[in-house]
Every structure is written in structure tokens, then in C-alpha cells.
Amino acid sequence: MTIGTQMGYGNRIGAWFVAVWPGEVAPYAIAAGGALYFAVFSLFRHNMASLLVFVPVALMAMVARRFREGITAWVPLAVFLDAFAQLRGRADKTVIPIHHTALLHLDRALFGGAVPTVWLQTHLLARGQYRPYDYLAVALHWSHFVAPIATLFALWLTRPALFRRYYLAFVALTTLVLAGYFLCPATPPWLAAREGYLPPLARPMVDMATALNRGLFGDIYAAIGSTNDVAAMPSLHAAYPCLMVVMFWPASRRLGLLGLAYSLLMGLALVYLAEHYVVDILASAVCVCVAARCAYAIDARLPALPVRRRWREPMPVYRGEIAAMRP
């Protein structure tokens, strides 16, 4: 075989790769890689959180007749979030010491010596008797495990351009928050109270969940992945609602206002439930601004996408059907 013939075959392979890979091969390669990842790292660890979230997403993508497109978008995200959960569980196992009082002192400095969590629980919480706003606060806390993925999926269905920006910002934000867990492991208010740095504080989120079903609560936390009590700075629970405000506001004032209301309520709930200090929430807002700026910069260098699309693809029309419709 001559060198010219070899170069000809090489050019053909390259042309085939460019023409066929994005639409035909990539979805199956990504699906195979994701399946291998979950088989090795998730199923053997008995961690089914990503599958519980993304299997319904895959089913909805099939209903929308966009399964192959969904694979390329959602399988990498599932792998990313599963890896995030595992790394989060190891963020306190470095040489960096755990900060037990640093964030507490910052909150006191911001509020003239008072600690917002202590003030809120002193004035609003009735121990042993939960009121409607207690249940609302807990529901807001637990919405963290549903709302971000549901938001991404809704954007993927109908708003391609906004979805890509949001997707990029979501990944960047989650990465920044994970870096914060490694660089600044810190005790949240409820743990600081147990260690004696604060007056006794209730943890309504755990108390309500265990009162309803202790076994189910344990199973859910086991499914989510490795836990880490000192992975609290910045607050990911506050970061995702804040991301909604920053990304929605330029596209839709109505969605931006909804995101703002959700973000403010989530922040108040996190402080009231003793899950985070105010400074954790402020740090998450800084991460959101950095992530959004990165997402817009990357998105500007990519080909433009349509602003809107139908949520469901039309049924494909095949050649035989076209011929049958001809007179």
C-alpha cells in the first residue's frame, strides 16, 4: 500500500469521524461510558442517587423523542454529580484544619455580636411543637434535591440557548463550591452548638424527617452519597436558587422574580434551621457571580442556539411515507 493510499484512507476516516461522530456515534459512546462508570463506582457502592434522578429524565427524553440528544447532555451531568457527591465526602480528609469558630465570628461581626440562627430560633421555634413555617422551611431545604435538576430539564425541553448557559454555570458553580469544601471545612451552626460554641440549637430538618420515618431518612442520606458535616462553606443549598436569579433575570423578569423569592426564602430557611451561617450564603452568592461570568464567556464562543423550541419533536417522516402521500 502506497503512502498516498494510506493518506487517502486517513482522510476518509477523518471525514467520517467529523460527519458521523457528533450525531450517530457520540450518544452511544457517552451512554456506554456512563453505564460503565455507574456499574463500577455507583452500583458497587450501593449509591443509587444519580440513577434515581436521571432514569426519570431519560424516560421523559424518550417521550419528547429526543433520547439521543438527551444522552449527550444528561449522562455527563449524572457522572459529574455522582463524582461531586463522592469528593464532597472526602473534603474533610485533608491537611487543612476544620474551622470551628471562624464563620461564627464573621456572623457576629456582621450582626453586631448577635448570631442570626440563635436569634431566629429563640424568637420563632417552639421546641417539640412545629408550626406551619417550620414545615415550609424544611420543605424548602429538601427542594434542593429536586429543583435544580427540574429547572435544567425544563430549560432543556423548551429553551436551548438558556439551557446551555445555565448548564455551564451549574457545572462551574458546583465545582467552585466543591473547591470551597476542600479549602475551608467549617462547622455549621447546629454542629457548633453541639461542640459548645453556641447555645443549644434545634435541627428541625433532621428532627422532622426522623419523626416521620427514621429508616427512610437514613436510606435517603445513604442514597445521596458520602455525607460530610463540615462541607458547609459555601452553601450549595443557597447557591442553586441564587443561580436561578442571575441566569433567569436577563431572559425573563417573571422567572427572575420567582427565582429571587425562592432564593430569599431558602436563605432564611437555612439560617433558621441552623444548617448555615449567613456568611455561607454570602459566599455562595460570590461563587454564583463567578460561575455565571464564566458561563457567559464560554457560551459567547460557541455557535448560537435558538431561543425557544417545541418541547416534543415531531414524528419523523420516512421516505416510504413520503412516496405514499404523493398523488
Using one digit for the tens of pLDDT, what is the confidence trace for 292-311? 999 999 999 999 888 877 75
All 3 cell numbers of residue 312?
416534543
Spatial distance between the Cα atoms of 204 and 138, rounded to a whole number of angstroms = 7
Q: Comparing C-alpha atoms, which of 225, 195, 200 is closest to residue 103?
A: 195
Amino acid 102: pLDDT: 93
All 3 cell numbers of residue 62?
424518550
Alpha helices in the chain (DSSP H): 3-20, 26-37, 49-63, 67-88, 102-110, 116-124, 132-143, 147-158, 160-183, 189-194, 204-224, 236-248, 253-272, 278-300, 319-325
The answer on pLDDT for 133 being more than 70 is yes
The upper half-sphere exposure of residue 303, i.e. CA atoms within 13 Å in the direction of its Cβ, equals 2
The answer on pLDDT for 134 being more than 60 is yes
The answer on pLDDT for 108 being more than 90 is yes
Average pLDDT over residues 149-178: 93
Average pLDDT over residues 166-182: 96
The answer on pLDDT for 256 being more than 60 is yes
Amino acid 16: pLDDT: 44
Verify cis geometry, omega within 30 degrees of 0, for the bond prior to 234. yes
| Local confidence band at 190 (pLDDT 50, 70, 90 cut-offs) | very high
Average pLDDT over residues 172-177: 96
Spatial distance between the Cα atoms of 297 and 316, rounded to a whole number of angstroms = 36
Amino acid 126: pLDDT: 83
| Local confidence band at 130 (pLDDT 50, 70, 90 cut-offs) | confident
Amino acid 61: pLDDT: 61
Amino acid 50: pLDDT: 58
14-72 tens-digit pLDDT: 454 444 445 455 555 655 665 555 555 555 554 555 555 666 666 666 655 666 677 77
Least confident of 75-79, 166-170, 250-254: 75-79
All 3 cell numbers of residue 116?
442570626
Burial (0-12, 13-18, 19+ Cβ within 10 Å), 132:
exposed
* CA distances for 285 relative to 44, 148, 288, angstroms: 36, 16, 5
The answer on pLDDT for 223 being more than 70 is no
All 3 cell numbers of residue 33?
461510558
Mean pLDDT, the chain, whole residue set = 79
| Local confidence band at 76 (pLDDT 50, 70, 90 cut-offs) | confident
Amino acid 21: pLDDT: 46
Q: Which amino acid is at 72?
A: T
* CA distances for 305 relative to 69, 109, 164, 316, angstroms: 14, 46, 9, 22
Compute the Cα dihedral for 266, 271, 275, 280 and give only its sign.
Answer: positive
Amino acid 212: pLDDT: 65
All 3 cell numbers of residue 144?
434542593
The answer on pLDDT for 191 being more than 90 is yes
Average pLDDT over residues 217-236: 70
Amino acid 291: pLDDT: 97
Spatial distance between the Cα atoms of 138 and 136, rounded to a whole number of angstroms = 5
CATH number attached to the domain at 97-311: 1.20.144
Amino acid 107: pLDDT: 95
> What proportion of the chain, given as a percentage, has pLDDT over 90?
44
| pTM strictly above 0.85 | no
Spatial distance between the Cα atoms of 130 and 122, rounded to a whole number of angstroms = 14
Average pLDDT over residues 241-267: 94
Amino acid 33: pLDDT: 61
